[in-house]
Chains A and B, each alone.
Chain A
């Protein structure tokens, strides 16, 4: 049993909504005056008034969060967007103050919240190493001692005396990570830094983080959306949602819980009302579209390898025309990944009537985890496009146990998961 180095006790952080002000004194006075007269806030955009999860005008980014971390532990923190992960790290790194509760820390904390902050573009790599080290709390002497190690870890030996503005983004990130990772702090906070850099360097960073904990006895708190790296690094994981700790325990159990949570997440916009996007004069219009998961529930989160159904409702003023549906699945860069088309996959013609509801069921969605968009298009036979809704909906493919081995493939390892079987002789 080792000693406790971080003790978070009933930590809460509230953000005031709407009260932060409009940014200018004159507008603030207008708001204040309107409040005094009992009028509605003049600076609110129409329809902006109701946010979901706040009491009064306060949003609790963290509410009564308590946990303890032992020395040498690598603890992962996961949760959906807005769960409070980054707020927690910000409080730990003292960037912002909590509203209630307290955090007790033994040892020095260094944070690696976003690499490259504090770099001055005009200064050389060498100057920036010293500057960045100082910002992170290292003395000049400490940096000097680690200088060679930092440079060689970042693989920028040749460019040490070049201004960092001429660096490639990869070099930039490597250097920044290297400085932070070589800090002599007892506790290291890491937030999503590994989303950058090439795969080899990411691997190197992960290795370094793991090394830091197991060999040097340092404690690491690691926030990531990448379940693979969480799983490989952390024995213990904290699952946050809406500012609360949902689960705290072994990584496998917590990650499983997180995936279940994400799959059933109904807060995402899974039902799209598309009527307003098309001219009323158009003879055929799509009224709504939604994605249904394998349990028949509306959801945009589909596990990798799972199945889903796109449901599209159609209203038409005419009858008798022959049409076909084209749904294009695209990745974040707009690359067409797949065409879900009734032209190819449905052997008969679709004849227009007043209302049609189309269901396109897709099975074995073996796409890597990530967000994809779907274009909805309807064509007349002969090619004329009647409806063309670009990126009308999005779908999130979430990690799952695709291979049945308990290991989760991530997007960086390939866009498509091909089902494969290994044998050895």
Chain B
């Protein structure tokens, strides 16, 4: 062209950004994400505010949802089907299951639709795409925090009423459990979201699959009540040890098996790695397929 380079434009240090066809699949743009921390904050805020704008009960919905689910479970599975609860008060048993399951399930379902949900945005501006799933994890973590505090309140109420359950030191382990759930939800969600750019039918599979997976996780029944022939199936589910350990930590009943926890943890790490690689691959060109 008519312009000749003036300074040393051949040196790569001169340029701030070089756009090339291939990107590093294992790259986690931590530094870039940090630069966009305000964006993540805004996304979290948007998720919250937009949920209860133009509703009567507003933020109360964060409490009503788990409460209604727990009541339903208590009536159907506790009183009608009479499923065992390891000797725990039924209400607390189902509520602990519901609260943690909701965190995992919303992380998974919301992450799995990010490309389709955000395609108008992704198609127009650049920002590190991982900002969206990360903001989903954070906003759900806050929801989880609110619902969990609600659960603690019920725990206190039941303790005063004289119910017997024994929280123990495993409580200190719960941040790791939360991390594992977040990781599983994120990894699986990224994987599915990347595939939904090509195959929309996976969306239906997610809705259906999450419900099915809940029944394969000790949410409405304790692990101890599973017949032997289903043991392997339930144990293959990485959410099983998380749900059981969590319940054990706060209510003192259930099964804890460290090797199962290690399995879950490794499962989570592998899923996050695969999810990130696939996500990075799809991210570069997904606008051409959506």
Contact = CB atoms under 8 A, between A and B. Distances in A.
**Residue in B2, B41, B285 whose Cβ sees the most chain A Cβ within 10 Å:** B285
Nearest to A119: B121
Contact of B53 (A15, A122, A137): A122
Contacts, number: 148
B27 interface: no
A265 to B, nearest CB: 26
A117 B120 contact: yes
A379 interface: no
A147 to B, nearest CB: 14
Interface string A54-84: 0000000000001110100000000000000
Contacts of B5: 4, 68
Interface stretch (B11-19, B57-65, B136-144, B263-271): B11-19
A21 B198 contact: yes
A104 B200 CA distance: 35
Contacts of A16: 288
Interface of B is mostly: loop
A189 to B, nearest CB: 10
B232 interface: no
B19 A137 contact: no
A90 to B, nearest CB: 7
Contacts of A105: 15-19
A68 B1 contact: yes
Interface residues of B, number: 48
Pick the most buried of B6, B54, B121, B288: most chain A CB atoms within 10 A of its CB.
B288
B102 to A, nearest CB: 23
B16 A67 contact: no
A118 B121 contact: yes
Nearest to A105: B17
A380 to B, nearest CB: 52
Nearest to B5: A4
A135 B46 CA distance: 12
A70 to B, nearest CB: 6
A113 B53 CA distance: 29
A104 B121 contact: no
Given A93-B124, A118-B125, 7 more contacts: A90-B123, A95-B124, A95-B125, A97-B19, A113-B124, A113-B125, A118-B124
14 contacts: A1-B6, A25-B199, A25-B202, A94-B19, A94-B126, A98-B20, A102-B19, A104-B9, A113-B124, A113-B125, A117-B125, A123-B46, A123-B49, A127-B49
Interface of A: 1, 3-4, 7, 15-16, 20-21, 23-26, 28, 66-68, 70, 90-109, 111, 113-114, 117-118, 120, 122-123, 127, 130-131, 134-140, 163, 248-249
